[in-house]
């Protein structure tokens, strides 16, 4: 059971990095104008997702500053913000799908199970 839970956590980490990379390439993939608000939002969220993973206390994190529970809360917020950004900033008529779809994927990914081992990376600055 513990091994299965550990693999789910690692899968979450890989999915997060993949979502971050997808977001960074989205302006090109979806032919968005480089200086538009649509591109700026998607690039900012993509960079945030990758930086968030780099500072989280998991195997693929480098800085080990933020614990997994806080990481998932930030994932949830970023996904929500990305999904509703077309409506908040008024570009839902032109570009809706990438922001809404990837935002929903980020939200779903934020509900992945937490690891039960709390002492493995006890040097987290933010708990």
CA geometry: angle 22, 26, 27, nearest 5 deg? 155
Establish if 11 belongs to a structural domain: yes
pLDDT at 6: 58
Domains identified in the chain, total number: 1
Domain presence at residue 70: yes
Q: Is the residue at 19 inside a domain?
A: yes
**49-107 confidence digits (pLDDT tens):** 999 999 998 887 888 898 888 999 999 999 999 999 999 999 999 999 999 999 999 99
38 in a domain, yes or no?
Answer: yes
Q: Is residue 103 part of a domain?
A: yes
**Would the pLDDT of 119 be above 50?**
no
Contact by Cβ (8 Å): 109, 10? no
Global pTM reads 0.81
Q: Is residue 125 one of the residues assigned to a domain?
A: no
Which whole-number Å values give the CA distances from 82 to 38, 41, 88, 99, 123, in the listed order?
10, 8, 10, 5, 31
Is 89 inside a domain boundary? yes
Q: Is 60 inside any structural domain?
A: yes
Look up the domain containing 14 and give its range.
Answer: 2-109
pLDDT in tens, 2-46: 555 556 667 888 899 999 999 999 999 999 999 999 999 999 999
pLDDT at 125: 58
């Amino acid at each position: 059971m513990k091994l299965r839970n550990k693999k789910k956590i690692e899968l979450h980490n890989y999915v997060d990095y993949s979502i971050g990379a997808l977001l960074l390439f989205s302006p090109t993939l979806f032919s968005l104008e480089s200086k538009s608000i649509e591109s700026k939002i998607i690039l900012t969220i993509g960079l945030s997702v990758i930086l968030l993973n780099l500072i989280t206390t998991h195997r693929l994190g480098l800085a080990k500053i933020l614990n997994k529970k806080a990481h998932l809360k930030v994932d949830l917020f970023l996904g929500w913000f990305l999904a509703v950004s077309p409506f908040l900033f008024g570009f839902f008529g032109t570009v809706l799908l990438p922001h809404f779809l990837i935002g929903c994927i980020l939200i779903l990914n934020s509900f992945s199970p937490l690891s039960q081992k709390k002492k493995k990376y006890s040097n987290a600055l933010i708990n």
